[in-house]
């Protein structure tokens, strides 16, 4: 179920970037429509990374569902480490679903 919802999210997210070629995207606004990604969205906001992303017109977000953040095995980390983890989930170019499956 999670895999199919993530697939749907990625498809929607990728196509939403294709529709607006000039302006940046409100990443936190887009992600707010997906309650299961609220922890990832909160990290984007609390680390300040969202401000850099809102000006970009082409990117791919590999958003992490809340279940992974709320797992007892999820380690406590410093704000700087959390910011780095979030940055690893942001690709600064558009990648289609088939591009992601090839890598």
* Chain segment 38-69, per-residue pLDDT in tens: 999 999 999 888 888 877 778 888 898 998 88
d(CA 97, CA 82): 26
Angle between helices 79-88 and 38-46 (to 10 degrees): 120
d(CA 53, CA 38): 17
* Chain segment 72-93, per-residue pLDDT in tens: 777 777 888 888 988 999 988 8
User: Quick one: fold of 2-102?
Assistant: FAS1 domain (2.30.180)
């Amino acid at each position: 179920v999670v895999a199919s919802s993530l697939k749907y999210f990625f498809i929607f997210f990728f196509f939403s970037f294709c529709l607006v070629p000039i302006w940046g995207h409100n990443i936190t606004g887009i992600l707010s429509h997906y309650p299961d990604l609220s922890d990832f969205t909160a990290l984007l906001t609390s680390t300040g990374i969202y401000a850099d992303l809102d000006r970009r017109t082409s990117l791919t977000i590999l958003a992490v569902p809340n279940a992974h953040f709320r797992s007892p095995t999820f380690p406590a980390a410093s704000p700087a480490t959390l910011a780095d983890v979030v940055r690893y989930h942001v690709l600064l170019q558009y990648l289609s679903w088939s591009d992601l499956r090839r890598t």
